[in-house]
Structure 1
Amino acid sequence: MHGGRPADTATVGRIRRADDVLDIQRAARGGGTAPVLSWLAARSGADVFLMNSAGALTHPAQALLGEVEHALALCGVREMAVRGRGSVVIDQGGLTCIVLPLDGSRGSRAPFLVAVTSRPTAPELPVLLADATSVLSLTWPAEHTRQQQRRLRIADAQNREAVLHLLMNGQTSVARQVAGALRPALPATARMYVIEGPPGVRARMVEELAQVAEGAWIVPCPVYADHILMLAPADGAPTWVWPPELEAACWIGVSNALPLRDTATGYAQAFHALAAARDRCDRRSSFAADPDLALTIGPAAVAWAEDFLAPIRAHRARRPQDPDSTELLATAASWLSFHSHATAHLKIHRNTLSGRLTCIQELLGLDLRRLADQAALALALRATATEIPPPPEHDATGAGSAPSLDELLVLPRVVAWARRQLRPVSAPDVPASIAETLTTWLRLDARIGPTAAALSVSVSAVRKRLTRSEALLERSLLRSPSAVHDLWLARRAIELAEAERTSVQ
Structure 2
Amino acid sequence: MCTELDGSRPLGRPPSRFRSERGEAAIAMTRLAAGPDPVPAILDRLARRSAAAALIGVDGTLLTVCPGRNPLDRRVLADAARVVPELHGRGTPAAVRGGAGTPTVHLVSLGDGAPDDRAGCDPDEGTEPAPWLAVVDPADPVPGDLLADAARLLGLCWRLERSESARRRVAAGDVRSREAVLHLLMVGDVAPARRIAAALRPHLPDLLRVCVVEYASRRRGEAAGQVARALGGRAWVVPCPVRSRHLIALVPAPDRAGPPDAREADALGRLVTGRVPGTRVGVSEPVPLHRTAAGYEQAFHALAVARNGPDGHCRFDRATELRVLLGADGQEWARTLLAPCLSYRPARRIDPDGPELLATLGSWLAFDGAAHRHLRIHRNTLAARLAVLRDRLDLDLSRVSDQSVAWLAMHLLGPAATPADGPDSASPHPPGADLGESGGAGRDQRAGTARVDVPGGDDTRWVGLDRLLAAPALRLWARGQVAPLATGPTGATPVGLATVRAWLRAEARLPDTAAALGVSVSAVRKRLGRAEQALGRSLLRGPSARHELWLAVRILDAATGGDPVGGPAGSPGA
Q: Normalised by the size of structure 1, how large is the TM-score?
A: 0.85
Structure 1 match to 2:194: 176
**CA 1:429–1:206 in structure 2 vs 1: closer, same or farther (change >3 Å)?**
farther
Deviating more after overlay: 190-199 vs 126-135: 126-135
After superposition, what is the alpha-carbon deviation per residue over 1:387-411, rounded to whole angstroms, capped at 9, x for unaligned? Answer: 79xxxxxxxxxxx933511111221
Structure 2 match to 1:29: 34
Structure 1 match to 2:85: 78
Structure 1 match to 2:399: 370
Paired with 1:198 and 1:488, the residues of 2 have a C-alpha distance of 32
2:337 match: secondary structure: helix
Deviation at 1:41, TM superposition (A): 3.2
2:212 match: secondary structure: strand
Paired with 2:514 and 2:18, the residues of 1 have a C-alpha distance of 80
Check if 1:310 corresponds to 2:339.
yes
1:193 match: secondary structure: strand
**CA 1:102–1:266 in structure 2 vs 1: closer, same or farther (change >3 Å)?**
same
Paired with 1:182 and 1:48, the residues of 2 have a C-alpha distance of 41
Check if 1:298 corresponds to 2:327.
yes
Taking the TM superposition and a 5 Å limit, the aligned residue runs for 1:162-311 are: 162-214=180-232, 215-235=234-254, 237=264, 242=271, 246-311=275-340
**CA 1:386–1:20 in structure 2 vs 1: closer, same or farther (change >3 Å)?**
closer
Whether the aligned pair in 1 keeps the contact of 2:207 and 2:252 (CA below 8 Å) is yes
Paired with 1:188 and 1:244, the residues of 2 have a C-alpha distance of 25
After superposition, what is the alpha-carbon deviation per residue over 1:372-421, rounded to whole angstroms, capped at 9, x for unaligned? Answer: 11111111112221579xxxxxxxxxxx9335111112211112111111
Structure 2 match to 1:426: 486
Q: What amino acid is aligned across from residue 101 of structure 1 in structure 2?
A: S
Structure 1 match to 2:476: 416
Paired with 2:399 and 2:104, the residues of 1 have a C-alpha distance of 71
Structure 1 match to 2:55: 49
Aligned positions, number: 481
Q: What amino acid is aligned across from residue 141 of structure 2 in structure 1?
A: E
After superposition, what is the alpha-carbon deviation per residue over 1:189-248, rounded to whole angstroms, capped at 9, x for unaligned? Answer: 111000111252432232123234242111111111111111111107378772566453
Deviation at 1:159, TM superposition (A): 1.4
Whether the aligned pair in 2 keeps the contact of 1:477 and 1:484 (CA below 8 Å) is yes
The alignment yields a C-alpha RMSD, in angstroms, of 3.3
Paired with 1:243 and 1:86, the residues of 2 have a C-alpha distance of 55
Structure 1 match to 2:514: 452
Taking the TM superposition and a 5 Å limit, the aligned residue runs for 1:335-414 are: 335-385=364-414, 401-403=446-448, 404-414=464-474
* Greater helix share, structure number: 1
Deviation at 1:25, TM superposition (A): 2.2
Whether the aligned pair in 2 keeps the contact of 1:222 and 1:344 (CA below 8 Å) is yes
Deviating more after overlay: 135-144 vs 239-248: 239-248
Q: Normalised by the size of structure 2, how large is the TM-score?
A: 0.76
Paired with 2:384 and 2:202, the residues of 1 have a C-alpha distance of 38
Paired with 2:279 and 2:337, the residues of 1 have a C-alpha distance of 41
1:248 match: secondary structure: coil
Structure 2 match to 1:20: 25
Q: Out of 507, 523, 532, which is 1:470 matched to? A: 532
Whether the aligned pair in 2 keeps the contact of 1:37 and 1:48 (CA below 8 Å) is yes
Deviating more after overlay: 156-165 vs 471-480: 156-165
**CA 1:195–1:494 in structure 2 vs 1: closer, same or farther (change >3 Å)?**
same
Paired with 1:386 and 1:429, the residues of 2 have a C-alpha distance of 43
Paired with 1:56 and 1:415, the residues of 2 have a C-alpha distance of 76
Structure 2 match to 1:480: 542
1:177 match: secondary structure: helix
Structure 2 match to 1:124: 141
1:401 match: secondary structure: helix
Taking the TM superposition and a 5 Å limit, the aligned residue runs for 1:95-106 are: 98-103=106-111
Deviation at 1:425, TM superposition (A): 0.7
Paired with 1:273 and 1:60, the residues of 2 have a C-alpha distance of 57
Structure 2 match to 1:391: none
Deviation at 1:27, TM superposition (A): 1.6
Whether the aligned pair in 1 keeps the contact of 2:280 and 2:313 (CA below 8 Å) is yes
Whether the aligned pair in 2 keeps the contact of 1:251 and 1:274 (CA below 8 Å) is yes
